[in-house]
Structure 1
Amino acid sequence: MPFLFHPQSEDGLSFDGTHLTVTLHIEPIQDISKVVLRHEPDNEQFFVEMSQLEDKGRLQTWQARFPINQDRDVTHYVFKVQTTTAQYWLDARGVTNRIPPKEYHFKFNAEHRPADWVQSQVFYQSS
């Protein structure tokens, strides 16, 4: 399986109030024919083609912008890399060869976001 990575921090996800811009990093794969983001506005499958940006080190960087769901707080999305001989899906668990079940898709909640300071904190758990 190829290395695919979607950072769910400021490095790979931005929200402008109505749209998400997401970033996907891919190790170079021969014969990529298409990289898409799949989401379900109004519970209908929809694919958004991703655009390739400049490489970061040895990784290709791809990006897409899409509207969040208007009918519910949580927007689900997943990535698909299509080559001439295979397809690879990236969900919250990792890379698979088949479309993952919705419970494993990436999730963005537009209404309930952590406070900005949370990203820069270290949390400890004691027992």
Structure 2
Amino acid sequence: MQFHQHAIPHWQPPFGYPDVLTTSEDITGIEVETLFRVFCLYTLIERPKITSGETFSLDSDSPIYLLRQESCTIFEDDDLFYNPYGMWNLVSHQGPEQTSALTCMMQQVLLTLLTYDMKMMKMY
């Protein structure tokens, strides 16, 4: 009987996108949940071409985050949860205030999500 070293294929994430994390310490759990939900839905729906080093914010009154594309280092490459697409690290950014096209699109996604959440709350 022969065994092949790579007989079991790596599990592939269903969407083919990087995972998301933040190394920012000045953010609450609720803020992280909102940030991740909006960012992930935005990338799924709009399919933007994002490059490492871009900045964004949920709206003009929210903190600015720097997007850093990184390799997946929290899991070994033979782990079930390893993501070959890497990770987006959303880092608090203290740079100059600026509104980018990405920020404007994030604002539209957030507004859509909030409208949907309000409609769902009325149903219950």
- Bigger radius of gyration: 2
Q: Comparing both structures, which one devotes a greater share of its residues to strand? A: 1
Q: Same fold (TM over 0.5)?
A: no
Greater helix content: 2
Higher relative contact order (CA 8 A, sep 6+): 2
TM-score (normalizing by structure 1): 0.28
TM-score normalized by the length of structure 2: 0.28
